[in-house]
Chains A and B, each alone.
Chain A
């Protein structure tokens, strides 16, 4: 019996064959925290007198969640992270660099690497065939100091997607559809392995969206085999040497196989207050919105902004709607500036904020008022996620978000006049 992609990566990393269900201690290649989880990790290390990192060059302290800081308590947390980085030689990714997972994809992730992060969406790097998973502060702190952690090798659900995504339908719609199908706990403790001809043809910016939201079905990792797309992406990031081919064996043992026909998918949204509460856009059309948030590790990449700019070009955001755009990283922001997407968006009435998490986690920059509704391209719509438990959040693709920002109600992007599909 062959190995799943999860089993294969972990087997290679520990130097012997390991199978689902086994408990292993495994070396960690990249460890990360962010400003919401880093201070606790640092204090745990202080408490046990282990303020060091086994691999400082690939241990990164990100400041992205509350960046720039809206309050003195958080500014003090940021100071703690900066001084820890200085003391230990760990990397610091400071205010304005961008969202941790986007920067991990750009600068650190590679096939076969083991990545742990004190942030649940660390699984995004699985799009590059890295075994990447989210953990708590203490787990990551110990992983930083020791250079290793423990895992239970996960069983795998294979998600096989075939056919061509229709115009106006993206990876975001696919993953929302899948989370709706599996349920918010449908893959708890498991690996998701995305495969099939649709995935093989899918560009990296969309693969990242898929892997990012694996955790919304409870999964530990969301993996995609590495291939020419991975190689091209790594080359574009200036790291061609980081590429290696990695795929599951054809006779691997899967717990379940789910087959999806991409051609039948529609633009899909998650309605308040859970990500698995999904509907085709046609059932939600006309729902009034007060705010649109375009950004996050899920959909704040250059190509996402290109779609939004193409829909909003020459038009204007509806009266009474706040349209907040946050590029996922400085690199994305710079490219979007060079390509005039930012100018197009600002002309259309959008508010463009510094690279980072933006309003995503409800700390600042877009807190909802009582009873207000936001449509986000991010990954979570839990009650209170935009800073107010009396607010509601819908999740959708950048195309849905842009189309809806123009009308002030949830709008089917396929109906937007002059819609030029990015694809």
Chain B
């Protein structure tokens, strides 16, 4: 699957509090409303200006902090098609796969704010069209490929009536 869009750059250690802050706790059962505030504490302009298909590009340890699955969910709801980072926090990474938000690990220093990117999710190839560079993300673990193929974890369990990943 090919994805094309523009890069929104963020720094290292973007936490789940940046993405879905505790002060908006009361919006957790109203995800479309919460999505209007996505990443607000890291970039107040982002939610209003992100275009469908754009990419969130972070540094190291993206998504650290709480287990709130609302964080990857509202990034997806805001229209973002994938998150790229040098590394991800464990729970965020697992949650992203569960909710069907593609996450790719690559050297994001090679991407500048506003760069146009084309990503092949099948191969993990990231083409930086603006800079004329190719980056390669490592493949996802098999278990995650399987969950993504079924449309996320809940869909996987609904389909098989069980967890069949071993």
Contacts and interface: CB of A to CB of B under 8 A. Distances in A.
Contacts of B155: 48
Contacts of B25: 36, 65-66, 74, 361-363
A148 B166 CA distance: 12
Interface in A106-161: 117-120, 122, 134-139, 141-142, 145-146, 148-150, 152
Contact of B22 (A23, A37, A148, A384): A384
Interface stretch (A182-190, A230-238, A402-410): A182-190
Interface in A85-121: 117-120
Given A25-B165, A367-B23, A385-B17, A48 B94 contact: no
A220 B94 CA distance: 12
A279 interface: no
A134 B154 CA distance: 18
Interface in B59-100: 60-61, 64-70, 87-91, 94-95, 98-99
A204 B155 CA distance: 41
Contacts of B69: 37, 40, 118, 136-138
B91 A185 contact: no
Interface in B124-166: 141-143, 152-155, 157-158, 162-163, 165-166
Given A48-B158, A118-B67, A141-B154, A77 B17 contact: no
A383 B95 contact: no
A167 B88 CA distance: 38
Contacts of B98: 136, 138-139
Interface string B20-34: 011101111110000
A384 B17 contact: yes
Contacts of A380: 17, 65
Interface string B81-121: 00000011111001100110000000000000000000000
Contacts of B65: 120, 380, 382
A384 B23 contact: yes
Contacts of B41: 383-384, 389
A338 interface: no
Contact of A73 (B17, B26, B89, B99): B26
A319 B124 CA distance: 58
B15 interface: yes
A138 B157 CA distance: 10
Nearest to B87: A185
B94 A135 contact: yes
A276 B100 CA distance: 30
Contacts of B64: 184-185, 218
B28 A184 contact: no
Interface in A353-392: 361-363, 367, 380, 382-385, 387-389
Interface string A37-48: 101100010011
A24 B166 contact: yes
B18 interface: yes
A76 interface: yes
Contacts of A361: 22, 25, 66
B90 A47 contact: no
A384 B37 CA distance: 13
A119 B29 contact: no
Contacts of A383: 15, 17-18, 41
B163 to A, nearest CB: 6
A134 B67 contact: yes
A24 B166 CA distance: 6
A382 B17 contact: yes
A23 B67 contact: no
Contacts of A71: 26
B52 to A, nearest CB: 24
B141 A152 contact: yes
Q: Which 3 A-B pairs have the closest CB atoms?
A: A136-B69, A362-B22, A136-B95
Given A23-B141, A37-B68, 9 more contacts: A25-B163, A44-B154, A66-B25, A73-B26, A73-B30, A134-B67, A150-B163, A383-B18, A387-B23
21 contacts: A23-B143, A25-B165, A37-B67, A40-B69, A44-B154, A119-B67, A120-B65, A120-B67, A134-B91, A137-B69, A138-B95, A138-B152, A145-B157, A149-B163, A188-B90, A361-B66, A362-B23, A382-B18, A383-B18, A383-B41, A384-B21
